[in-house]
Amino acid sequence: MAEPKVNELMEKIVSLCKRRGFIYQSSEIYGGINGFWDYGPLGAELKRNVKDAWWRTMVHHRDDVVGLEATIIMHPQIWRASGHVDTFADMMRECPMTKKRVRADQVEPQSGIAYTFLGAIYNVNMSAALEALDEYVNEYPLTSKSALNKTVLNHRIYDLLKRDFPELRRDELVTEAACLTDVLQREIHIEAFEILLPRGKPPESAQLAAQHYYSVRMGTPTLPKVIGGASAKVEASTDYHPESGVRLGPPRPFNLMLQTWVGPIQSDENVAYLRPETAQAIFAQFKNVLETSRQKVPFGIAQVGKAFRNEVTPRNFTFRSREFEQMELEFFIKPDEAVEAISGSVTPAAELDSRPSPLDTSSWGWEAWHKYWVEQRIQFYESIGLPRKDFVEYWQKPDELAHYARATVDILYKFPFSKRDEKGELMGEELEGIAARSDFDLSQHARFSGKPMGVFDEDLRTAWGKLDDAKKQTLWQRYYENRKRYLTKTARPDETPEKIEKAAKEDADGLAKGQYIPHVIEPSAGVDRLILALLCNAYTEVRTPDDKGKAETRVVMKFHPRIAPNKVGVFPLLKNKPELVKKAQEVRDLLRPHLTVFYDDAGAIGRRYARQDEAGTPFGVTIDFDTLGEKPELLDTVTLRERDTMQQTRVRIADLAAMLLEKVR
């Protein structure tokens, strides 16, 4: 029942975004381009504030995270190592009749009788031509791939014409035969069509389906005559569409990577990809950052930037766009075996309280760090005004995990367009994924680039020497098993089990010498999705009766002051009094170095408040005649109006900047 309202709400938000200059459609004057969006003046400020807040929280306020800004286009090998070129290319098969697509590996097996048609003829009623075609088909059975051999057919028709019309001259026969061949070529459509019918269904329905299929393909208004119709029993085949029964087309890669060419020549050799995520650059530059930042594991590398995916269906306003921005952290940690060697044991994640604090993290394994980052991220969202109750923390089930992940938590936000569960609760859409990716990524890049990605850990080497032999053996064995599992899973054909075993042993021996490939926890958030969540969360309708008692709906964007595009509006009560305007401009100039200020002197004061409410400006400052000293005790004071409560307080201009800064921090 709430369904239509939900869409209404989303439409109102979209409309406000455009009206007030938060978000516009990209290239709108040319009709727009699907899946691309621009941020207007208010949107650009909002987005900057959000990214700044993230950067401050993740990088500036910590000792153990540093930043990186990498290019969007990188060496194409990166995307082979990461698996994107392959895994982003699901094999899809298409039903040629309904154009519905299915994943090639997820077709339900079908049984029944398959009817195979070879093509269709439309409108030809020249006996010689048709007879020639029949003969031709008998001699060269048409298949899905064969085309009509025009020369052979032409000769056949010539012979038949000669038989039936002996009186014609040779040149007349040649012309006539050529003409008929042309007509036949034009009016015949050779294309295999196969449909699977459940046992017991009459063969006519197969024929009818074929006629409809060809009639659409040939663009003819009436049903054509079909060629072929042979039937065969089929058992448990995955080649037919479960709904239509039509034989599926060949599996085709369905690639979500956006491509370009580097250099002026567009050839296969210089294909490059626009990054589908910012993370891979962090892995690729891991060694450089490690060596130049004076960081030691555990530490993180953060990056904010654009990413691109050729989405099948961009939907839900900016939620799924083809060009979008990410805020990603790769937090590198020691493998659990190293933690155990150094600290004696690994703190079980369950023992950490609900808000782990990083006072002593030396005994934290990947589960503890994972839990820690999930909590950190939710606290961040709370700090910019999104209430915890609007989130769903979704722990992916083992069968949903990506091949590289040990655990992934999706932080879902309950958008108005989210689907509802059986109880009618919004299920939420993913804002951020926090994956424990083991040492997969660094290992992949080590293998693909041939450059070592391991680190040397002095603490580990020292600690290892003090372990008893049993402990050494246990840890060695566990590390060895993990490495072997990874190497087996990603093995190339030339990597035999013996080779893999040897490599895994070397890795485990390395651990004993203080060397390992760091594991990683990856909190990866979508900026544009977060902006959308903030817009949805801020959108509030306030119903107030106007002077004439008529109910009026005002929209207030209740952004957290920390991220609001404009922090304060400055208004002279009246525009036509130069002394008020002058004073208001002084206040504006006083505040401007500290905060984003919006100065507005147009229209009635109530209207200006309302305008700022829609823009989400948390505070308004109004300069009146008392400010100028009409009541001497109020000289140099202004009205400070709060957006959400509409409450007004009298404040000294001298106190204004400090007071507001306090509130927007």
Partner RNA sequence: GCGGGCGUAGCUCAAUGGUAGAGUUCCAGUCUUCCAAACUGGCCACGCGGGUUCGAUUCCCGUCGCCCGCUCCA
Collapsing DSSP states into helix, strand and coil, what is residue 522? strand
Q: Which is nearer to RNA, 335 or 618 (CB)?
A: 618
CA 472 distance to own-chain centroid: 44
Q: Residues 31, 271, 318, 48: what is their CA dihedral angle, to the nearest 10 degrees?
A: -110
Does 293 bind RNA (CB under 7 A)? Our answer is no
Residues 158-217 close enough to bind RNA by CB under 7 A: none
**Which residues does 162 contact at the CB level (< 8 Å), separation at least 6?**
168, 173
Residues 470-489 close enough to bind RNA by CB under 7 A: none
Measured CA to CA in angstroms, residue 628 lies from 72, 214, 572, 593, 636 at distances of 55, 84, 11, 23, 6
Does 45 bind RNA (CB under 7 A)? Our answer is no
Residues 529-548 close enough to bind RNA by CB under 7 A: 529, 544, 546-547
Helix or strand run (H / E) with residue 194: strand 188-197
Q: Which of 80, 186, 201, 315 binds RNA (CB under 7 A)?
A: 315
Stretch that binds RNA, among 152-160, 306-314, 507-515, 657-665 (CB under 7 A): 306-314
Please state the closest distance from residue 660 (CB atom) to RNA, in A.
Answer: 16
In angstroms, the CA 413 to CA 432 distance is 9
Q: Which is nearer to RNA, 182 or 586 (CB)?
A: 586
Q: Which of 154, 321, 376, 566 binds RNA (CB under 7 A)?
A: 321
Q: Which of 558, 577, 592, 663 binds RNA (CB under 7 A)?
A: 577
Collapsing DSSP states into helix, strand and coil, what is residue 514? coil
Does 343 bind RNA (CB under 7 A)? Our answer is no
Say which DSSP state 505 is in. Answer: H
Does 501 bind RNA (CB under 7 A)? Our answer is no
Q: Which is nearer to RNA, 258 or 491 (CB)?
A: 258
Please state the closest distance from residue 432 (CB atom) to RNA, in A.
Answer: 5
Does 432 bind RNA (CB under 7 A)? Our answer is yes
Q: Which is nearer to RNA, 98 or 185 (CB)?
A: 98
Q: Which is nearer to RNA, 41 or 465 (CB)?
A: 41
Does 337 bind RNA (CB under 7 A)? Our answer is no
Q: For residues 337 and 355, is the Cβ–Cβ distance under 8 A?
A: no
**Which residues does 341 contact at the CB level (< 8 Å), separation at least 6?**
460, 463, 464, 467, 471, 475, 511
Please state the closest distance from residue 598 (CB atom) to RNA, in A.
Answer: 11
What is the DSSP code string of 280-332? HHHHHTHHHHHHHHT--SSEEEEEEEEEE---SS--TTTTS-SEEEEEEEEEE
Does 253 bind RNA (CB under 7 A)? Our answer is no
Does 566 bind RNA (CB under 7 A)? Our answer is no
Please state the length of the chain. Answer: 665
Collapsing DSSP states into helix, strand and coil, what is residue 45? helix
Please state the closest distance from residue 124 (CB atom) to RNA, in A.
Answer: 26
**Which residues does 527 contact at the CB level (< 8 Å), separation at least 6?**
47, 50, 51, 304, 324, 325, 326, 327
**Whether residue 224 has a cis bond before it, omega within 30° of 0:** no
Kindly report the number of other CB atoms within 10 A of residue 258's CB atom: 17
In angstroms, the CA 526 to CA 519 distance is 23
Q: Which is nearer to RNA, 141 or 629 (CB)?
A: 629
Bridge-based pairing state of the strands 568-572 and 619-623: parallel
Collapsing DSSP states into helix, strand and coil, what is residue 578? helix
CA 274 distance to own-chain centroid: 13
Does 576 bind RNA (CB under 7 A)? Our answer is yes
Does 558 bind RNA (CB under 7 A)? Our answer is no
Does 259 bind RNA (CB under 7 A)? Our answer is no
Does 324 bind RNA (CB under 7 A)? Our answer is yes
Collapsing DSSP states into helix, strand and coil, what is residue 237? strand
Does 431 bind RNA (CB under 7 A)? Our answer is yes
Please state the closest distance from residue 402 (CB atom) to RNA, in A.
Answer: 8
Residues 86-105 close enough to bind RNA by CB under 7 A: 90, 98-101, 103
In angstroms, the CA 267 to CA 20 distance is 45
Q: Which is nearer to RNA, 335 or 416 (CB)?
A: 416
Q: Which is nearer to RNA, 116 or 244 (CB)?
A: 244
In angstroms, the CA 449 to CA 435 distance is 24
Does 632 bind RNA (CB under 7 A)? Our answer is no
Q: For residues 654 and 554, is the Cβ–Cβ distance under 8 A?
A: no
Residues 588-617 close enough to bind RNA by CB under 7 A: 602-607, 609-611, 613-614
Does 84 bind RNA (CB under 7 A)? Our answer is no
Please state the closest distance from residue 475 (CB atom) to RNA, in A.
Answer: 32
Q: Which is nearer to RNA, 293 or 310 (CB)?
A: 310
Does 8 bind RNA (CB under 7 A)? Our answer is no
In angstroms, the CA 406 to CA 246 distance is 40
Q: For residues 160 and 127, is the Cβ–Cβ distance under 8 A?
A: no
Does 25 bind RNA (CB under 7 A)? Our answer is yes
Does 10 bind RNA (CB under 7 A)? Our answer is yes
Question: 């699901």: which residue's tokens?
Answer: 90
**What is the total count of residues that contact RNA (CB under 7 A)?**
77
Does 551 bind RNA (CB under 7 A)? Our answer is no
Please state the closest distance from residue 443 (CB atom) to RNA, in A.
Answer: 19
Please state the closest distance from residue 388 (CB atom) to RNA, in A.
Answer: 18
Please state the closest distance from residue 223 (CB atom) to RNA, in A.
Answer: 18
Q: Which is nearer to RNA, 367 or 432 (CB)?
A: 432
- Nearest alpha-carbon partner for 148 in 195, 97, 182: 182
Q: For residues 599 and 583, is the Cβ–Cβ distance under 8 A?
A: no
Does 626 bind RNA (CB under 7 A)? Our answer is yes
Please state the closest distance from residue 664 (CB atom) to RNA, in A.
Answer: 18
- Nearest alpha-carbon partner for 270 in 280, 260, 284, 256: 260
Does 451 bind RNA (CB under 7 A)? Our answer is no
Q: Which is nearer to RNA, 158 or 319 (CB)?
A: 319
Tokens of residue 173, six digits: 């026969």
Please state the closest distance from residue 371 (CB atom) to RNA, in A.
Answer: 18
Q: Which is nearer to RNA, 481 or 644 (CB)?
A: 644
**Which residues does 87 contact at the CB level (< 8 Å), separation at least 6?**
403
Q: Which is nearer to RNA, 102 or 142 (CB)?
A: 102
Please state the closest distance from residue 19 (CB atom) to RNA, in A.
Answer: 4
Q: Which is nearer to RNA, 476 or 559 (CB)?
A: 559
Amino acid code (one letter) for 75: H
Q: Which of 71, 267, 313, 345 binds RNA (CB under 7 A)?
A: 313
Q: Which is nearer to RNA, 406 or 554 (CB)?
A: 554
Q: From its phi and psi, is residue 86 left (phi > 0), alpha (psi between -120 and 50) or beta?
A: alpha
Please state the closest distance from residue 138 (CB atom) to RNA, in A.
Answer: 36
Q: Which is nearer to RNA, 432 or 507 (CB)?
A: 432
